């Protein structure tokens, strides 16, 4: 199977790359159109890189556990090889002024691309106005080391679950 | 600093990165830069490399950080530890999800955690933004024009970001 393709096409990964993954998966008939929404939802619900989760689920749908492993392997092997090669050669060429200049240019492009990714995420996350201060609160708590990010996630997870529980009780 | 500690860190981070790999940038900063294992400048370089090469950014970062500490073995181990929690969780979640896809608990967890995580992702952006501002004050005209150039061509290059990155590299060599 050509899961390796997945690892090579997903620049930056994440939500921006989902359409590309979808097109590849449909082309190879690993999944059907109707499965896609479920896969996207679950990829985002679970922790970890969205693209890897997506590969995991696509593999699982088409070949079960073996498919999962193959898809994940295909997704992560090309990037790992490339990074390793870069890391091997990089330390030595890192001090060349030419490389430094190129990196500075690339950093600016990367920053703009990431801003775009953040913007997409923000539009997705902030469905209602009162959600904005909540994000800002978690930003402040984590930025000033008032609470470890893990603690923030755990607490907010518990709060969300209990709020949902209370809401459900009221409806009954 | 030993291999076992590194594995634990990555398993820990891998199980907390809700809402995608971008949030791993913040978590890894805390472990490696705040923990004085690597310098902030080197970390920013790693982010640039991780974003400029194919593959999910979190995977690239994990591989790079692992390699910088323990070579080839380190890179394989950190990447595998990072994906292990999500892999296991998906395999257990999937049957559960098929059974209760419309559970209000799952729905609100997903929406809510995304909001909280967004705040944590913003931290990474603020840190990168500081370097961006630094570049802006050092070489204002070049930085500004490259940013505009990127913004201009971004819609056309949606599925081919590597072209933008090549433009950035060439631009950097010519003008920085």
Residue range B123-164, pLDDT digits in tens: 878 888 888 898 888 888 888 898 998 888 888 877 677 788
CA–CA distances in Å: residue B38 to residues B9, B25, B33, B66, B160: 15, 14, 5, 12, 31
Q: How many CB atoms lie within 10 A of CB B95?
A: 8
Q: Distance (Å, rounded) from C-alpha A137 to C-alpha A144? A: 11
Looking at the predicted structure, is the pLDDT value of residue B56 above 80? yes
pLDDT score for B150: 87
Average pLDDT rounded to a whole number, residues A68-74: 88
Closest CA to A5 of A58, A65, A44: A58
Question: What was the ipTM of the complex prediction?
Answer: 0.77
In percent, the amount of chain A with pLDDT more than 70 equals 88
- Which residue, chain included where needed, has tokens 């000033």? A144
Residue A64 Rama label (left phi>0; alpha psi -120 to 50; beta): left
Q: What is the pLDDT of residue A164?
A: 86
* CB-CB under 8 Å, B154 with A105: no
Q: Model-level pTM? A: 0.79
CB contact under 8 A, B171 and A105: yes
Instruction: Check if B159 contacts A (Cβ < 8 Å).
Output: yes
Q: Using CA coordinates, name the residue in chain A closest to B103.
A: A164
- CB neighbour class for B31 (10 Å; exposed up to 12, middle 13-18, buried from 19): middle
Query: Rounded distance, CA B155 to CA A1, Å?
Result: 32
Residue B141 near chain A (CB below 8 Å): no
User: What pLDDT, on the 0 to 100 scale, is given for residue A130?
Assistant: 86
Range in B12-16, B113-117, B156-160 the model is least confident about: B156-160
Nearest C-alpha of chain B: how many angstroms from A60?
8
Residue A22, pLDDT above cutoff 70:
yes
The pLDDT assigned to A2 comes to: 63
The pLDDT-based confidence of A8 (bands split at 50, 70, 90) is low
Contacts of A117 in chain B (CB under 8 A): 22
pLDDT of residue A15: 64
Task: Work out the mean pLDDT of chain A and round it to a whole number.
Answer: 82
At A7, is the pLDDT very low, low, confident or very high (cuts 50, 70, 90)?
low
CB contact under 8 A, A49 and B68: no
> pLDDT above 90 covers what percent of chain B?
15
Tokens at residue B8, please? Answer: 């634990």
| pLDDT grade for B83, boundaries at 50, 70 and 90 | very high
């Amino acid at each position: 199977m050509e899961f390796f393709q997945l690892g090579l096409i997903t620049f930056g990964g994440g939500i921006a790359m989902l359409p590309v993954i979808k097109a590849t998966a449909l082309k190879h008939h690993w999944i059907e159109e109707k499965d896609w929404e479920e896969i996207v939802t679950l990829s985002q619900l679970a922790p970890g890189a969205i693209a890897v989760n997506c590969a995991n689920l696509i593999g699982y749908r088409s070949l079960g556990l073996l498919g999962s492993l193959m898809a994940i392997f295909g997704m992560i092997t090309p990037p790992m090889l490339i990074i390793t090669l870069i890391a091997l050669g990089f330390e030595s060429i890192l001090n060349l002024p030419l490389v430094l200049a190129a990196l500075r240019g690339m950093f600016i492009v990367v920053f703009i691309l990431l801003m775009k990714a953040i913007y997409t995420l923000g539009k997705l996350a902030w469905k209602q106005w009162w959600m904005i201060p909540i994000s800002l609160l978690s930003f402040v708590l984590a930025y000033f080391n008032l609470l470890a990010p893990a603690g923030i996630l755990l607490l907010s997870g518990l709060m969300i679950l209990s709020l949902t529980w209370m809401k459900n009780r009221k409806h009954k | 600093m030993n291999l076992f500690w590194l594995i634990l860190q990555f398993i820990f981070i891998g199980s907390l990165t809700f809402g995608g790999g971008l949030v791993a940038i913040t978590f890894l900063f805390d472990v490696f830069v705040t923990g004085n294992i690597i310098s902030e400048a080197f970390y920013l370089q790693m982010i640039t490399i991780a974003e400029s090469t194919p593959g999910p950014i979190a995977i690239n970062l994990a591989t790079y950080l692992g390699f910088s500490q323990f070579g080839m073995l380190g890179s394989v181990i950190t990447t595998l530890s990072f994906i292990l929690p999500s892999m296991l969780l998906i395999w257990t979640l999937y049957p559960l999800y098929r059974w209760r896809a419309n559970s209000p608990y799952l729905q609100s967890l997903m929406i809510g955690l995304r909001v909280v995580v967004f705040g944590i992702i913003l931290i990474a952006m603020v840190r990168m933004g500081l370097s961006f501002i630094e570049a802006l004050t050092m070489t204002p005209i070049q930085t500004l024009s490259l940013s505009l150039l990127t913004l201009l061509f971004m819609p056309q290059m949606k599925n081919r970001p590597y072209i933008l990155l090549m433009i950035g590299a060439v631009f950097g060599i010519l003008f920085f």
